[in-house]
Amino acid sequence: MRPCVTPPLIIRGTEFGGAKPVFCIPLVARDLKQLVKQARVARRLEPDAVEWRADSYDESNGNSLVEASRTLRSVLDREPVVFTLRISTEGGAKPIGQDVRTQCISAVLRSGLIDLVDVELSNGSRFLQPIIETAHEHGVRVILSFHDFETTPSNEVLLDAISAMIRDGADIAKIACMPRDPGDVLRLLQVTFAARQAFPSIPLCTMSMGSLGSWSRVAGFLCGNDMAFAVGQEISAPGQLPIADARAMTEALLRCGVYTGNPKTPPSRTHDDFKSIYEQSGFWSCCGYDGLSMVFDIPLDDVRSLSEEQKRALMRLLNQLADGADEALQGQTRELESLTAKERFIRLVSLSAPFA
């Protein structure tokens, strides 16, 4: 069952920290024409929120950014808009002096045209406090963020960073790190869960970047992540997935019963569940063989006890079910729905034998 924020943060009707994760599309336009084009594409994809990465914009002055924000708001009149003028040391598109950044961010905050602002914890209190105060005075929520594009720091360092964000006045705490191995991705999820337990009223945005960490952007919500970035037209960070794929994988987990609901009464599985789950792009790259336990609703330990050949056979069985052409196999699969998990496991192994 997903650990939600109590209570969720609601912005323009969107729940940050509610039952479902927020998918945010970044806009990385260089000029107003590109910005409008990307915003229109994003809107058609129906994101939960949109981020304007203004550090990619050619004009870095307050007046220009306010006018661009006005135009952006005319296109995105319903979606929560995040304004980000990322510092170059944490992935910003270009170097911008701190005085200029302060002036630009403050001007946009005072315009009343945005809903959230993302600023980096590394700027320090002298830079952050005036911006946070201005944001809150104008009803803008603050995302304080930490990025490491080289590695994933220790759990203690990451939790200390989240604590500092909340102490400084963050409404949402964000962590993005680059993994060097799968263990780093798992540690990021451990940090996310620990932070949710320690700070149950603060929405979190955590991600492991790059292709190695891409699955954390869709599965992290099971550990307490509340917001993920997905691709509309252009990526803003490595490892972002197209929003349609990200949502499809989320829906796959929903149908598996691991997203929400009563953990004591897991839903039954049907053939249609098997087929629709398999069809979700990228699902298996995220879940691997362990995903078989979710799709077929069988004990994970039983799946892990199988040989690699037996696991591959089960995957081929599922592929055949997804194809939908084998009516006899479909009928045999439907008969499994009334069995216990253990009985279903034994029968599935038998059904998959011809695919070995």
* Listed range (4-13, 73-82, 290-299) with the worst mean pLDDT: 290-299
288-331 per-position pLDDT tens digit: 444 566 566 677 678 778 887 887 787 777 767 666 667 888 78
Superfamily (CATH) of domain 9-241: Aldolase class I (3.20.20.70)
pLDDT range class, residue 225, cuts 50, 70, 90: very high
The pLDDT assigned to 273 comes to 46
Domain coordinates of the chain in residue numbers? 9-241, 271-355
Q: How far apart (Å, rounded) are the C-alpha atoms in residues 317 and 348?
A: 9
Predicted confidence band at 332 (pLDDT cuts at 50, 70, 90)? Answer: confident
The alpha carbon of residue 133 and the mean position of all alpha carbons in its chain are separated, in whole angstroms, by: 28
pLDDT at 318: 72
Q: What is the pLDDT of residue 313?
A: 81
Whole-number average pLDDT of the chain: 84
State the distance between the two ends of the chain, measured CA to CA, in whole angstroms. Answer: 35
Q: Which residue is catalytic, options 147, 264, 271, 311?
A: 147
pLDDT in tens, 248-289: 887 676 555 444 433 333 444 444 444 444 444 333 333 444
Is 271 catalytic? The answer is no
Choice among 20, 94, 174, 271 that is catalytic: 174
Pick 243 or 90 by higher pLDDT: 90
- Is residue 112 over pLDDT 50? yes
In whole angstroms, what separates CA 47 from the centre of its chain? 12
Q: Which residue has the tokens 């996310």?
A: 192
The answer to whether 136 is a known catalytic residue is: no
